[in-house]
């Protein structure tokens, strides 16, 4: 990230600029008084600077936060003197510190939206993640009881497709952007599959549609054209802004501490708790590596213990 007085070229909407370029432009305009803001933003850029800013999603935010936790506190080997070597201690950061990094990232992206630099349908991905809970190694996910309550309230939502969207998110683990860009031509109701030509990773992906999801899809498929979005708003080619109906459903179900991205965590967490290996979970989520999937490894412990007891008890017999 450029922190010098070098002139930075302005950015424009429609341009596929990276987060690094956005950070440079932001700091060139920054008039705040927080002396640590630039340092916090620099760490974000180290992790995600190469990505196109408007394509960053909640998984990327989680990746950045995980990297921050792994780095831990910093230590200046030169004491309080300037120019001393700064090293990572890997000692745990306070929740408040992690939240400040998160807020730094969120404020830069929100600033870009106010400057009309982001696409019109863009939503801030940091808002799709939670502020750090007391146990930073855990991801919030729905219990089965919470899921049932949420389905019950979403069925009477003012937006008829909210129930379908929630079921699809939990049973496929697909990202919000993937689901909201899904067109009817991508859905094969006979085979129970949905083809996603463009995902966050830039690779095609096939969603497996469960029977109850298929039943709901068939209810809405009749009058739609192939190019229409499955989850459209007023206009068939524009995605629905469902934030208000989503929040109402959560409130009616008496569920707190949940954002839409929690449904993706729910998908992965339920698979982990039922003994599915991390490699299978990574495949279901569309992760290219196990780095992001390891956040669910603690949920596999009980099933792993059951497996070990079963195998080694047989050896003792």
Within a 10 A sphere around the Cβ of 273, how many other Cβ atoms? Answer: 15
Q: List Cβ neighbours of 39 (8 Å cut-off, separation of 6 or more).
A: none
User: What distance in Å separates the CA atoms of residue 148 and residue 127, rounded to the nearest whole number?
Assistant: 24
pLDDT digits 0-9 by tens, 83-95: 567 788 888 888 8
| 81-89 CB contacts, 8 Å cutoff, 24+ apart | none
Token pair 């469902």: residue:
242
Q: List Cβ neighbours of 246 (8 Å cut-off, separation of 6 or more).
A: 162, 260
pLDDT digits 0-9 by tens, 98-118: 999 999 999 999 999 999 999
Instruction: Report which secondary-structure segment, H or E, holds 282.
Output: helix 278-285
Q: Does the structure show a pLDDT above 70 at 138?
A: no
pLDDT digits 0-9 by tens, 31-73: 888 888 999 999 999 999 999 999 999 999 999 999 999 999 8
Read off the pLDDT band of 246 (50, 70, 90): very high
Q: Tell me the domains of the chain and their CATH numbers.
A: 19-128 (1.10.150), 144-304 (1.10.443.10)
Do 297 and 280 meet the contact criterion of CB atoms below 8 Å apart? no
User: What's the pLDDT at 109?
Assistant: 96
User: What's the pLDDT at 203?
Assistant: 66
Count Cα neighbours of 62 within 13 Å in the Cβ-side half-sphere: 21
């Amino acid at each position: 990230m450029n922190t010098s007085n070098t002139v930075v070229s302005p950015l424009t909407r429609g341009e596929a600029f990276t987060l690094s370029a956005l950070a440079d432009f932001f700091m060139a305009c920054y008039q705040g008084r927080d002396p640590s803001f630039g340092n916090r933003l620099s760490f974000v850029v180290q992790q995600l600077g190469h990505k196109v800013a408007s394509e960053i999603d909640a998984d990327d935010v989680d990746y950045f936060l995980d990297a921050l936790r792994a780095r831990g506190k910093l230590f200046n080997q030169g004491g309080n003197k300037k120019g001393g070597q700064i090293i990572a201690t890997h000692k745990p950061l306070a929740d408040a510190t992690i939240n400040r990094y998160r807020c730094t990232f969120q404020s830069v992206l929100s600033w870009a939206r106010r400057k009309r630099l982001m696409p019109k349908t863009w939503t801030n991905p940091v808002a799709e993640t939670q502020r750090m809970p007391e146990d930073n190694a855990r991801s919030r996910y729905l219990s089965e009881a919470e899921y049932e309550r949420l389905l019950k309230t979403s069925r009477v939502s003012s937006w008829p497709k909210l129930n379908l969207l929630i079921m699809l998110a939990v049973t496929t683990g697909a990202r919000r952007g993937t689901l909201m860009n899904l067109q009817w031509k991508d859905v094969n109701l006979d085979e129970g599959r949905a083809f996603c030509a463009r995902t966050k990773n830039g690779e095609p992906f096939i969603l497996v549609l469960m029977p109850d999801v298929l039943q709901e899809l068939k209810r809405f498929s009749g009058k739609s054209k192939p190019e229409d979005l499955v989850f459209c708003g007023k206009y068939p080619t524009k995605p629905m802004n469902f934030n208000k109906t989503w929040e109402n459903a959560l409130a009616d179900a008496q569920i707190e501490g949940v954002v839409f991205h929690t449904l993706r965590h729910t998908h992965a967490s339920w698979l982990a708790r039922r003994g599915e290996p991390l490699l299978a979970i990574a495949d279901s989520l569309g992760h290219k590596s196990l780095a992001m999937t390891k956040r669910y490894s603690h949920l596999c412990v009980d099933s792993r213990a059951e497996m070990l007891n079963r195998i080694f008890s047989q050896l003792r017999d």
